Each structure stands twice: as structure tokens, then as C-alpha cells.
Structure 1
Amino acid sequence: MLKYQGSLQAKYSQFFQVAIVVLVLICGLLITPAQGQSQPSFPVVLDGRQIFQVSSTKASTAKDRAESISSQLKAVVKSEKSPQIEIKQVNSSPTIWINDRYILSITPKDNPGNIDPEKLAVTWANDIRTLVQKSQQERDIKFTRNISLLTVAILIIALFVNRSLGILCKITQRKFSQILESYASLGDYITTLNFLLRTTLILARIGLWVAVVLYITNLFPVTRYWSYKISSSIITSLTSPILKNNSLVDIFILIGLFLGLIILSGTATNLLRSRVLQALTISLGVQEAIAVICKYALIGIGSVVLLQVWGVDLSSLAILASALGVGIGFGFQDIAKNFGSGIVLLFERPIQVGDFVEVGQYMGTVEHIGARSVVIRTLERVSIIVPNSQFLEKEVINWSHQNPVSGIPITVGVAYGSDMEEVKIALLDAADAHSDVLRFPPPQVFFQGFENNILNFKLLIWIDKPNQQSVIKSDIYFLIAASLKQHKIDIPLNSHNLHVNSGDLPIKLSEQLEQALLHLSQGMNGTLVNKDN
């Protein structure tokens, strides 16, 4: 129970992190609107509904003018009085008044289609009257109650549809699996079918809840206003002109937004990897490739949006990008080479996360494929960071590539005079005694030839766990030693023969030394004679 609560808490903490970072990014976008050249027109909005667009005048910009009109219309809505709209001619221009209060004048710039100003004024007045009355009705208690009940009903229906989609997916998966299993040639397509069905289910559920959220958001005036403001801010950020002047505070805010974007991209990628990709029956290598590509795509798209929000024209960065390309080519050759190699590894996938590989003097399991390097966890549980280029420029042994079944040779030497058939039986018995040795392909014994004092044999076994080959080989050696002892087969020790040639030593002694040795030998002979007597 505690373990379940801990996993549930970790799950919700990730969602909270994403929500917090998203709110920070949205706030950053809202407090730093697109700057640069003034826009030719700006929309007049009431409760998230656009009425019309006005242009700038000599006295005020289009944005200030639109916000002033919007605020006056909000005051009319809050007054709860029925709007009395009139059109008056002031200085040869039609003006709109509400409850004897001036709202706006229609200027030639407000009329780009060269429509009759009087007709345009009547159209705008009717639009204002319709939306003001609708906004006043939406603030009625009865309307709010009805909309709240409608929202609850929509959520209940959405939950029911969400559950029904899951049941429908399971039924469809079961039906198609039964059909495919009845055909032996189509059995390999079950995994692909399950992946497509689950992906379709996820996309359908996402589309369902996005539609529900958008619909419910447009029911209430407040949520409709914020929805319109956020969407318009994002759209404006994509079309904003270049920003000429930046303060130090602006630069710090931009850096903070980029950091938030990186955190959001990493958290979203981790959620995609742990909540979505792990639920799909695809290999770890494909999961890692999808996660890394999504992460870089989010960072790239988010960077473009932030730069446009800040008013930076990306076309102006072409010269800077060219200069950086030259600098990278000369000063960061290894980094660029490893980054390019990482892209090749992600798309070509000669190695994948979870593969057991041997590169150079290192052997271990691939844990992570990054933009610059690959992390390998060795059998000693040590992490080795290998540059990506090593996997493309040198020979790499991938024990798990396409098929994890691998042959492991084990060399054994026995003494001369041993029964060779008994040796073969003993080695096969040792292989059969290990549970990790595959029965197909079957183990084989080969006679390698005659050595100085041994008969050399090779036992070839097959395993599907290449990352445990060292442990399996050790176990097999123990089993071979016991099996040879049981069959009374000797394993010879390494022996070395020492040959000494007899003959006169080429050493000359002085006459004094020869006399002394002669007297010594005669004395020893006399002593031996007395002892014998």
C-alpha cells in the first residue's frame, strides 16, 4: 500500500511540475507581449468575443484605442442597463454613442474596404448591441446555473465516452488478435496492431478532452476571455516584428523563459517516456529515439516562439548562424561530429537502449543515447560515457542486434589417453545442466587438435542473455569440472622438461687451488675408509 501511494505521489508530482512550468511560461508570455513596430489595427474584444478592429489615430495607437473601447463596453455590461445605441455625425464622421456616452468615431483607416461610413457604423452598432445583450444575459444567475449543469453533464458524457473508447479498443484488439493468431504467417503483426490501436486510443482521448476543454471554456465569460487572451498572445508572438531595444531586465526574463522551456521539454519527454511509450509494446531503442526527437522538437519550436515573442526576426540571424557554423566547423569539430553521429544513431539505430555491446575494451548494456555520448553500464555496474563517433568509426560488437541469441565458445583441454567420446558426453552433460543454455540451437562439441600434452576440445553453447555471459561461462566451467571428475577424465597440469648436457666445464683452476682440492679429497677418502673399518 505504501509503495502504491509513493508511486501515485510521484506521478502527481510530475503533473504538478508540468502545470507549474506551463503557468510560468504563459505568465511570461502575457507580461512580455510582442514589441516592435506598431500594428495597423487591433481588435475590440468583449468577454473573449471579437467585435471589430480599429486602426490608429494621431492621438492614440490602435491597441490603446481598442482597449479603451473594450473597457467602456465592459462598463456598459456591468451596469445591467439595456444599451441605447445612437449614431451621430461629429466633424463629418459617424460616431457611436451608448447611453449618451461617446464610444468611438469611425475614421477612414477603420474602413479599408471603402464601405459607406454610415453603413459601417450601423453594422458595428448592431454588433455591439447583440454582444452587449448576450454578455448581460451570461451574467444572470439563472444562466450561470444552467451553464454549470451543462458543464457537469458534458464532463459525465466525456468520461463515459473516454471509458467506452478504452472498452472498444480492447474488444477490437481481442477480435483482431484472434483472427491473426489463426494465421501463422500473420502472427508477427499482433504487436504492430496493438501499437496502432493504443496510439489511436491515445489520440482519440486527447482529441476528446481538448474539444471538451475548449467547449467548456467558451461557455463562461471569464474563461472565454483568458482563452482568447492566451491564444491571441501566442498568435501575435508568431507574427511579431523585430525588437530593436532590449533592457537588462528583458534579457534576464528571456533567459528565464528559455530555462523554463528546457525544463518543460525535459519533463514532458519524461512523461511521454514513462506514461505513454512504456505502455506501448515497442522496443526500448524506439522509445528512446521517439523521446529524444520529441524533446529536441519541443525545444526548437519553443525557441522560435520565444524569439518571435521577443520581436526577433529569425531571418536576421542567418549571418550569425553562418558564422557559428564556421566556428563549429573549426573549433568544435569533435562536438559537431559527435552530435551528427548521435542523430545517425537515433535514426539508423545500429545500437538501441538495452542492447549489450562491446566497443573497444568496454562491454556493457546501453542505458542512454544522448546528443553527444552514449552511456554504457558495465557488468561491474560502472557507467562508461563513450562518444557517439566511436560507434560509427570503430568496430562495435552488438550482442543484441536484431537477435539476442549468441554463441559462446568454451575451450577445455584433457589428458592424453582419455576416451574422446566420454569427453564429448561429459561436456554436453555440463551444458544440459545449465538452465540458461538454449536447447535450440543445441550445444556442440568440437575437437580442436593435439597440443603438447593435452587434447583440445571446444564446447559451443547458445544463450539469449548476452549481458550475463560472464556469469553463465563461470557456471559452465564449474559444471564441466564436476562432469569430468564424474566421468574420471583427467585435466593435465602444465609441465616443463629441463634438459642439461653433460661434459667438461670450461673452467681452469690455479695449481694451488688444485692441490688444496686434491688434499681435501684424499682426507675425505681416508676418513671414509676408517669409518668402514
Structure 2
Amino acid sequence: VLTGLFADIAGYGYFSSWWFVAWGSTIVVIVCGLIILNSIIALNQHAKEQSESSDTTIKGISYPFYWILYNSIYIIILMACITGIAISWGASDHFFSQIWVAFNQEVVLGKIVLSLSGFIYALIALLVTYMITITAKKMLTRYILSSSGMSAGAKDSVITICIYLIWSVGILFSLSVFGLDTTSLTVALGALGIGLGFGLQNIFNNFISGLILLFERPIQVGDIVEIGGVWGEVKKINVRSTLVQTYDNSSLILPNSEFISAKVTNWSHKDQFIRRDLFIGVAYGSDTKLVEDLLLEACESVSEVYSYPKPPRVHFINFGDSSLDFRLRFWSSIDDFIPAESNLRFEIDRLFKEHNVVIPFPQRDVHLKNPA
């Protein structure tokens, strides 16, 4: 302020006016920038607080992309403020044209033409591709596939394949914008082939196995599988691996190739029904017909035991060392077979006690011989 006053007193009226206008414009630009910046910070904080899981996603956007997005907004605000301040202090069109020329300056490396603008455009293309994938996933889930009648696994396969296609187009477009032509892409793919031969074959194998799982669908999201004696539910089929949530609430992250080459039991591939066997031994001398009737009566009392696809059956399977051995074969569902087995045991124990049917302990007869 003093500088402008002294300049005006000294007779430099034009300089004094320019000085006050420049500083006034600068203050306005800074204040506007701070207001916008504080608004963005407040919105960012509100989004984190409203998010159900702010560690991984914010409003449906994965945190790394969200971080890039709002930091890009900060950079844009900063550049706009710098531009406004430069204009306030009389920056000419030539100054901005020189900056634009530097921004688009190309660096030629063989047949590859690189530039800072190409890098920025490629990054923007990837961000736009990511936003398109989020929108496409929501549209497919909520509107297109919601009333299709397809199973949850089939829907997930369709969505995943569509996301892969969108990403493939987006990556190719971003590489083209970045400065890689068709010849450069051929060289890059050739280098990728060499990499596959040396150290990336496992990753490539898992990727191809993932595509096989998505198209052939021997395993789908929501299926109950058994791997190495461990039961779990398939939660997600990713590019490289498949996530299986066990009944112990632990997560198994398995390479996709394991589902193609190893032995995997899919208990719900055809339907949700599962057949189970319950083995019971009764004492010798028991009425076997009564035992059969009591076991079938126990099945009728347990709601988790189904009469479809087949009704319960009792089989007299063996004369054991200490008991008459029976097998109760029944059908239940993936979700209900564990409580069905438990409730059946409770009911069988109650009925056996009421009708004096004994479940024997293991017995051994030992004969001692006197050598005399």
C-alpha cells in the first residue's frame, strides 16, 4: 500500500494504479482459491466420515484412485490460482504460449514420442476409464442384470468380463495418447513375451485360468467349495487369484491355476442340496425294526432334513465288533446340513432313551490262560 501511495505522490499515477489493481486482483484470487480449497477439504472429510469402510473404498471408489482424484483437484486449483496471479501482474500471451510449448515439448526415443502433455492425457484417460468401469458396474448390477434371472455367479462373470473389456480399451487408448504407436506396442508385447518366458509365466497362467473360470464357470461367486479338506464360499474371482471365505471366517487367497489343475470339490455347482450320512451303532439284541422306525421318526422331527431330492433312508450296514451298525442317509442344504446333523443326534439320543435302545461302548473280551 505504501509503495503505491509513494508512487502516486511521486507522479507515477499509472504505476500506482497498476500496483493497486495487481495486488487487489491477487488478493481476490487467493481468497477465492482458499474458499474453494476449504470447500473441497470439507467435502473430502464428509465423504470419509459417511463411507462405510473408509480404509478401502470411499463412495464406491477405491482409495488409491480417490486419493489421485482429490489431489488432482488440488493441483488444478493451485494452477488456476497461479495463472490468475500471473494475469494480475501483467503476464502476456507470449508467456503462456511459452509455457504451453514447454508442456507439449516432445522427446523422441527411437520410434517413441513422449511429452509431458501425453503423460497427463494418459493419466486422465486412465482415471476416466476407471470412472466408466464404476458406472458400468453399477448400471449392470442395478438395472441391466437385476431382472435377468441369472445366478449370482453368472452375473458376476458378466460384470467382470465387461470390466476387463473396458479396461483393455482404456489402457490401449492411454498408451496411444502417451505416445506409443502400433510398432512400439508390438515391441512392448514382444518384451512381455520374453518376460513371460523367464519369470511371468505363473502370473500369465493365473490370468488365463481366471478367464477360463469366468467363461466356463466351473466355479462361480457364491459357490461352496472344498479345497484340501477346507470348506469355504467363493467371494471374488480376480485377475490373478480367487478369494474364498472359510467357515472359520478366514480368507483363502488362491491362485486361479489351482482351480484348473488341482482337485476342487464344488458342493453347490449343480444345486444347493447335499447328501449326508449319519452312522449309529446299537447294542446286540436290539430290535432292528424299532431302530429303523426311530431313526426315520427323528428325521421327521428335524426341519433341516429334506424329503427332496430323496426321502431319508436307513441302511443296516454291518455287524460290528461291539454294535449293530446303521447308516442314516438324508438330504439337506449347504447352509443347513451342519445344524441338521446336530439336531438329528439330539433327537436320536432322546428317542433311544425313551425306547430303551442302547448305544454300546466298545467292548473287548480278554481270555487269560493258566499255563499250569
TM-score by length of 2: 0.66
Percent identical: 33
1:316 corresponds in structure 2 to 184
- Which whole-Å CA distance do the structure 2 matches of 1:402 and 1:422 have between them? 36
Q: Is residue 160 of structure 2 the alignment partner of residue 292 of structure 1?
A: yes
Q: CA deviation at 1:255?
A: 6.5
- Which whole-Å CA distance do the structure 2 matches of 1:499 and 1:257 have between them? 89
2:324 corresponds in structure 1 to 455
- Which whole-Å CA distance do the structure 1 matches of 2:237 and 2:134 have between them? 17
**Does the 8 A contact of 2:112 with 2:184 survive in 1?**
no
Q: CA deviation at 1:254?
A: 5.5
2:314 corresponds in structure 1 to 445
Q: CA deviation at 1:365?
A: 1.3
2:39 corresponds in structure 1 to none
1:502 corresponds in structure 2 to 370
Q: CA deviation at 1:376?
A: 1.4
1:245 partner letter = L
Q: CA deviation at 1:387?
A: 1.7
- Which whole-Å CA distance do the structure 2 matches of 1:468 and 1:334 have between them? 38
- Which whole-Å CA distance do the structure 1 matches of 2:275 and 2:186 have between them? 54
- Which whole-Å CA distance do the structure 2 matches of 1:422 and 1:435 have between them? 22
**Does the 8 A contact of 1:351 with 1:398 survive in 2?**
yes
1:433 corresponds in structure 2 to 301
1:365 corresponds in structure 2 to 233
1:122 corresponds in structure 2 to none
Q: Is residue 134 of structure 2 the alignment partner of residue 267 of structure 1?
A: yes
- Which whole-Å CA distance do the structure 2 matches of 1:391 and 1:338 have between them? 10
Q: Is residue 261 of structure 2 the alignment partner of residue 403 of structure 1?
A: no
2:275 partner letter = G
Q: Is residue 302 of structure 2 the alignment partner of residue 424 of structure 1?
A: no
- Which whole-Å CA distance do the structure 1 matches of 2:235 and 2:315 have between them? 37
CA-atom RMSD in angstroms? 3.4
1:257 corresponds in structure 2 to 124
Say which one has the larger Rg: 1
1:186 corresponds in structure 2 to none
- Which whole-Å CA distance do the structure 1 matches of 2:136 and 2:243 have between them? 18
Correspondence for 1:304 among 160, 172, 176? 172
Cα 1:417–1:331 change in 2 (3 A) is same
2:89 corresponds in structure 1 to none
**Does the 8 A contact of 2:313 with 2:328 survive in 1?**
yes
The secondary structure found in structure 1 opposite 2:336 is: helix
- Which whole-Å CA distance do the structure 2 matches of 1:462 and 1:476 have between them? 12
Correspondence for 1:484 among 352, 362, 366? 352
Q: Deviations over 1:296-342 (max 9, x none)?
A: 11111111222222332133221221221121133122222211111
Q: CA deviation at 1:261?
A: 4.5
Correspondence for 1:475 among 320, 325, 343? 343
Cα 1:243–1:327 change in 2 (3 A) is closer
The secondary structure found in structure 2 opposite 1:245 is: strand
Q: CA deviation at 1:460?
A: 0.7
Cα 1:245–1:338 change in 2 (3 A) is closer
Structure 1 gaps of 5+ residues are 1-5, 29-63, 65-241, 505-533
Number of aligned pairs?
A: 279
Q: CA deviation at 1:245?
A: 3.5
Please show how residues 184-223 of structure 1 align to structure 2 within 5 Å.
Answer: none
Q: CA deviation at 1:435?
A: 1.1
- Which whole-Å CA distance do the structure 2 matches of 1:480 and 1:322 have between them? 68
Cα 1:279–1:13 change in 2 (3 A) is farther
**Does the 8 A contact of 2:206 with 2:239 survive in 1?**
yes
2:320 partner letter = E
Q: Deviations over 1:411-433 (max 9, x none)?
A: 11111111011110111111111
Cα 1:473–1:255 change in 2 (3 A) is farther
2:289 partner letter = E
Cα 1:259–1:303 change in 2 (3 A) is closer
- Which whole-Å CA distance do the structure 2 matches of 1:448 and 1:439 have between them? 22
Q: CA deviation at 1:477?
A: 1.6
**Does the 8 A contact of 1:366 with 1:375 survive in 2?**
yes
Q: Deviations over 1:50-75 (max 9, x none)?
A: xxxxxxxxxxxxxx9xxxxxxxxxxx
Please show how residues 104-123 of structure 1 align to structure 2 within 5 Å.
Answer: none
2:242 corresponds in structure 1 to 374
1:313 partner letter = D
1:348 corresponds in structure 2 to 216
Structure 2 gaps of 5+ residues are 1-49, 52-57, 77-96, 98-110
